Structure 1
Amino acid sequence: MKKWLMITAVALLTACSSAENKSYYQLPVAAQAGGQSVASQGNRLLWVEQVAVPDYLAGNGVVYQTSDVQYVIANNNLWASPLDQQLRNTLVANLGSQLPGWVVASQPLGSDQDTLNVNVTNFHGRYDGRVIVSGEWLLNHQGHLIKRPFHLELTQQKDGYDEMVKVLAQGWAQESASIAREISRLP
């Protein structure tokens, strides 16, 4: 009987110690300047229609590239909400704070709106300590299409998924600022 109790206790302890903790990540939104009311922003309208990600990024797991050809999708380091939604929400918030005179939204705003679509092809960490944010965006501005590719490689200063997600967010904020600069130059 004692042997059976000892085996059961060891099995329970082993099961408890092998249970891995899951971590959930949310992209931080860049600090925003004081908000303006919609009425004071004028009539320039921008609808961020979609931010698309490929299938390997669309799952719950944070992606890490382990070699030139191999990617790992984490089982215990997960996105708190779908990555495409996080990217879209942070893009709307960042553009809204960086484009005075514009109303930026994730919903259609009317017939005179500009429409922005972004296709993110890479959003992951890499074995060499680099973080990759790349893709292309397409803006429909008054019936004219403007298409721009983007590719950012940033260096991760510390190890770990926390740092990787922070650097990914930093790269996305940089690309948001780049998009805002292009939009602000439009007639």
Structure 2
Amino acid sequence: MKKWLPIALVMLLSACSSTPSKTYYQLPALGTPVQVNGTPASRQLWLEHVSVADFLAQSGVVYQTNDVQFVTAQNNLWASPLDQQLQQTLVTNLGSALPGWVVSSQPMSSDQDVLNVTVSGFHGRHDGKAIIQGEWVLSRQGALIKRPFNLELKQGEDGYDALVRTLAQGWQQEAQEIASQAARL
């Protein structure tokens, strides 16, 4: 009987120490891309680059625990690099917000508007808010618009699912602001 006790103990301990499962998140593109069929687009916009701060370039979703401390989740991960997700969803959201325009992540011609975005905050915060910060630069034939953005959006509920949805809503909101400025340029 004593021979089986160590084996039973090992089996019991291994059953209790299961590894937490990983969850992967993809930002939903909330806009619907507008198709331009057969009619020439009046304007073209090349989203040249979206860059993120180093602390956001990790695979985990970032959460700010107090005024100076950030943690990167180990089991709640981005399904693809955050900068790529931000660029893809921004192209879709801008395409929806700018009907008649062709919005692309690839260069199209020499007569195109060019947009570059730097994201310095895209994370959750201990007070239940989603933070989206950074700046964008839009150029058209030598004219430049440079705007900072700083959004603090209240999450409707707790959890990473709600955080990612709130971040996506804020990103769409910023796309609307960029579209508004681009239409005026």
Matches within 5 A, 1:12-51: 12-16=14-18, 19-32=19-32, 35-37=35-37, 39-51=38-50
Structure 1 residue 9: Cα displacement: 1.2
Give 1:11's aligned residue. Answer: 13
The residue matched to 2:156 in structure 1 has which SS? coil
Structure-2-length-normalised TM-score: 0.95
Measure, in 2, the Cα distance between the counterparts of 1:8 and 1:164: 39
The residue matched to 2:14 in structure 1 has which SS? helix
Give 1:56's aligned residue. Answer: 55
Give 1:139's aligned residue. Answer: 138
- Structure 1 unaligned runs (5+)? none
Measure, in 1, the Cα distance between the counterparts of 2:106 and 2:41: 18
1:108 aligns to 2:110 (yes or no): no
Aligned residue type for 1:178: E
Structure-1-length-normalised TM-score: 0.94
1:69 aligns to 2:71 (yes or no): no
- Which digits, 9 at most, give the CA deviation of each residue in 1:84-143, with x for residues without a partner? 000000000111111122110000111111110000110011001111111100011111
- Structure 2 unaligned runs (5+)? none
Q: Which consecutive aligned stretches of 4+ in structure 1 deviate over 3 angstroms post-superposition?
A: none
- Which digits, 9 at most, give the CA deviation of each residue in 1:26-55, with x for residues without a partner? 000014165322x42424111000011011
Give 2:118's aligned residue. Answer: 119
Measure, in 2, the Cα distance between the counterparts of 1:42 and 1:7: 70
Q: Is the 8 A contact 2:33 2:92 kept in 1?
A: no
Aligned residue type for 1:27: L
Cα distance change, pair 33–49 in 1 and its aligned pair in 2 (3 A): closer
Aligned residue type for 1:161: Y
- Which digits, 9 at most, give the CA deviation of each residue in 1:40-91, with x for residues without a partner? 2424111000011011000100000000000010000000000000000000
Measure, in 2, the Cα distance between the counterparts of 1:130 and 1:4: 49
The residue matched to 2:94 in structure 1 has which SS? helix
Cα distance change, pair 101–41 in 1 and its aligned pair in 2 (3 A): farther
Aligned residue type for 1:145: L
Measure, in 1, the Cα distance between the counterparts of 2:61 and 2:70: 10
Structure 1 residue 10: Cα displacement: 1.3
